[in-house]
Amino acid sequence: MKQKAILFINGTGGHKAQMVRLLRNLDMKNKANGIKLIGLCENGAGLEEYDEYYEVDPMRDKHSYLKTLITAPLLVLKISYLIFKLLKDYNIEVLISTGPGIVTLPSIIFKIFNKKIIFIETWSRYETQSFSGKVMSKLADEFYVQNRSLLNKYCNAIYSGRL
């Protein structure tokens, strides 16, 4: 039987900080022991809390849209390969992410295979939607927002309080 695992996806900066706080809140080791924690992270965003993690370039360059257009196709191939390999090697039923855009492709694959997707929209949004938030509100089974004002922006959002 394949090892049970959860795929966590997080970026750098605030996305990483939120994931650290989420993992502390979930207390997986005590509350869901025996499930391996696998991370898919932007470069430099891997966490020691993960049993293993893979780092990839960010999907979107923060300073240049042009750069994003050039690097995105290669990254799509790399991430797709990695996700299919993980799904083959492990029994992964759940994906949990605090963003950013890097989560969208794995989520589409998870959706096709009918896996659970949990997304927590970033804590820095109050009146505007993030790119990953817009996409993930369509894909996620549970779409949490940390600020009440976002309940008006997404029809399926659930208020979670702030990490």
Partner 1 sequence: MKIFVTVGTTAFDDLILYLDNLDTENEIIFQISDDHKYIPVNHKYFTFTDDIEEYYNMSDVVITHSGAGSVYRLLELKKKIIIVPNMIRVDGHQMDLANFMKDNKFALVCTDIKELDQMIKNFHSTEIEEYKFDRFFKQDEIIDIIKKAYNI
What residues from 75 to 134 belong to the interface with partner 1 (CB under 8 A)?
Answer: 91, 93-94, 96, 115-116, 118, 122-128, 130
Strands of 116-120's sheet, edge to edge? 52-56, 36-42, 4-10, 91-97, 116-120, 142-145, 157-159
Largest CA distance in the chain: 46
Q: Does 31 bind partner 1 (CB under 8 A)?
A: yes
Instruction: Work out whether 63 is an interface residue with partner 1 (CB under 8 A).
Output: yes
Q: Supply φ then ψ for residue 115, to 5 degrees.
A: -90, 160
Asked if 50 is part of the footprint of partner 1 (rule: CB under 8 A), the reply reads: no
What 3-state DSSP class applies to 119?
A: strand
Q: How far is CA 63 from CA 45, 105, 162, in A?
A: 19, 22, 28
Q: Which is nearer to partner 1, 1 or 77 (CB)?
A: 1
Q: How far is the CB of 161 from partner 1 (least distance, A)?
A: 4
CB of 18 to partner 1, least distance (A): 8
Question: Which residues of this chain interact with partner 1, rule CB under 8 A?
Answer: 4, 6, 12-14, 17, 21-22, 25-27, 31-32, 34-35, 61-65, 91, 93-94, 96, 115-116, 118, 122-128, 130, 141-142, 144, 146-147, 149, 158, 160-163
